[in-house]
Amino acid sequence: MQIFKRGEKVLLNANPSLHNGMYFRRFHSKVATVEGKRGSCYELSLKDGSKKKIVIVHPVHLVKCQK
């Protein structure tokens, strides 16, 4: 299981073999910032157009961004 820290940048990349904790398809391949943890999932903050949104995603659907 991956561990992310608050403030890290992550890429949303769906793993189709696990449907729990999957995000809405509009956010596929978006970069988000980790805001915190909720249970075994992570709260992510991202921009959707001009609005800031919070998405709760299981860590199997996340990939660390390279610096």
Site of tokens 């903050």: 45
Question: What per-residue confidence (pLDDT) applies to 47?
Answer: 95
What local confidence, expressed as pLDDT, does residue 32 receive? 97
Q: Does the predicted model carry a pTM greater than 0.95?
A: no
The ranges assigned to domains in the chain are 9-64
Name the burial class of residue 16, with classes exposed (0-12), middle (13-18) and buried (19+) by CB atoms within 10 angstroms of its CB. exposed
Residues in the chain: 67
Q: What confidence category does residue 15 fall into, taking pLDDT thresholds of 50, 70 and 90?
A: very high
- Rounded Cα distance between 1 and 63, Å, is 11
CATH code for the domain defined by 9-64:
2.30.30.70
